[in-house]
Amino acid sequence: MREKTLEEYLNCPFHLAMNTLEGKWKFAILYVLLDKGTLRYKELERAIPDISTRMLVKELKHLEAKGVVNRKAYATVPPTVEYSLSTIGKSLKPVIDSISDWGKMYAKAVG
């Protein structure tokens, strides 16, 4: 099955957003970067319990390709890489805050 093109997704903004943010780990990555700001790879990995190295790399590459996350590599030994949210990524703050608020409300309702 082929992936839809950006032009095809532009007809439905909801599907465009879901394609960009789908998956178990993307919101966790966004939440940590919103909360802590720019982080090195290992700091980000430690901040997200249970995520595998392979999955973190995959999700960061996807978010970077979609323009949500910035990646900055430094020419050091060993290599240093930092991740931060782009302007588009920072614009997700109200969405992340709303999801967090809903989670608090849900926890009270079921707990």
Model confidence pLDDT, tens digit, residues 1-50: 667 676 676 778 888 888 899 999 999 999 999 999 999 999 999 999 99
How high is the pLDDT of residue 42? 94
Global confidence as pTM: 0.86
Q: pLDDT tens across 58-100, in order?
A: 999 999 999 999 999 999 998 899 999 999 999 999 999 999 9
Backbone angles phi, psi at 76, to 5 degrees: -125, 165
Give percent of the chain with pLDDT exceeding 90.
79
The amino acid that residue 62 corresponds to is H
Order of strands, edge to edge, in the sheet holding 39-40?
39-40, 80-85, 69-74
- Secondary structure, 3-state, the chain: CCCCCHHHHHCCHHHHHHHHHCCCCHHHHHHHHHHHCCEEHHHHHHHCCCCCHHHHHHHHHHHHHCCCEEEEEECCCCCEEEEEECHHHHCCHHHHHHHHHHHHHHHHHHC
pLDDT band of 55, cuts 50, 70, 90:
very high
Q: How far apart are CA 37 and CA 85, in angstroms?
A: 8
How high is the pLDDT of residue 109? 96
How high is the pLDDT of residue 48? 97
How high is the pLDDT of residue 83? 98
Pick the CATH number of 6-110 from 1.10.1740.10, 3.90.1150.10, 1.10.357.140, 1.10.10.10: 1.10.10.10
Domain ranges of the chain: 6-110
Q: Six-digit token pair at 103?
A: 């989670």
